[in-house]
Amino acid sequence: MYFNSGYFLFAIPGLLLAMWAQWLVKSTFSKYAQVPTSRGVNGITAANWIMQHTGLNNIGVNNIAGQLTDNYDPRAKVINLSQSSVQDSVASVAVVAHELGHAEQDAQGYFPLRLRGAIVPAVQVSSWVGPLLFMAGYFLQSTGLAQIGLLAFIAGAFFAVVTLPVELDASNRAMRNLESSGLLVGDELKGARKVLNAAAMTYVAAAAQSILTVLYYVSLLTGMRRRD
C-alpha cells in the first residue's frame, strides 16, 4: 500500500540527469580551477575589478566555508565566496562574475529575481507541508486534501522553473562583464563560459526533477479520482 513502482518511471530520469549535472559542474570547475588567469587575479580581486567596472560600489564581499557554496545575499547586498572561488583561476573568476551578475540583477530590479525572492517563504513552507497533505489525502481518500498537497508541489516546480532565467541571465551578465572589463581574454573567456554552462545544467536538472515530481503526484491523484 505504501509502495508504488510507478514512482521510478518519474524519479529515475530526473535522478540520472541530476547526477550527470553534478558530475559535469564538478569536473568542469576542477579543470578550469587549474588554469590561472593571464592577469593573475584571484576571486577577491576579480570581484573588486568587476564592481568598479559595473558601478556596483555598495556590494560587500565575504568569505564562507565550503566548495562551490558561493551565493549573493540580496538582503545584505553581499556576495559570499567559498574557499574554491578565491584562488587565481578561470573557474574562480567565472563564479565570482556570476554572483555579481545576481547583484547587478538586484540593482536593476530584474523581475524574475524579484519574483523568485517573493515566493521563497511560500516554497519553504510548502516543501514540507505538501508531501504530508498529499499523502494524508491519498491514504484517507480525500481528493480535496490531496489537491492542496499537489498545489504545494506545483509551487516548488514553479520556483525551480523561475530560477532558470535568473541563473542564465546572471551567467550572460557575467560573460559580458568579463569581456568588457578585460578581466579575461581569449581562451579564458571560453573556459569561463564552459564553467557557467555546466553550472546552469544543475538548475535545469532541478527544474526537471520538480516537474517530474509534480507529474508523479498528478498520476496518483488521477488514480484516486478513477476509484471514486
Question: What's the mean pLDDT in 25-43?
Answer: 94
pLDDT at 50: 94
Distance CA 178, CA 94 (A): 8
pLDDT in tens, 115-153: 999 999 888 888 888 888 888 888 888 888 889 989 988
Q: What SS3 state is found at 60?
A: strand
pLDDT at 228: 55
For residue 2, name the pLDDT band (cuts at 50, 70, 90).
Answer: very low
Positions annotated as catalytic residues are: 99
Is the pLDDT reported for residue 4 higher than 70?
A: no
pLDDT in tens, 60-98: 999 999 888 999 999 999 999 998 888 999 999 999 999
Percent of the chain surpassing pLDDT 90: 68
Question: What's the mean pLDDT in 200-224?
Answer: 91
For residue 220, name the pLDDT band (cuts at 50, 70, 90).
Answer: confident
Q: Answer for the pair 216, 6: CB distance below 8 angstroms, yes or no.
A: yes
Distance CA 112, CA 163 (A): 8
Percent of the chain surpassing pLDDT 70: 96
Is the pLDDT reported for residue 189 higher than 80?
A: yes
- Domain segments of the chain as ranges: 7-36+89-94+109-227
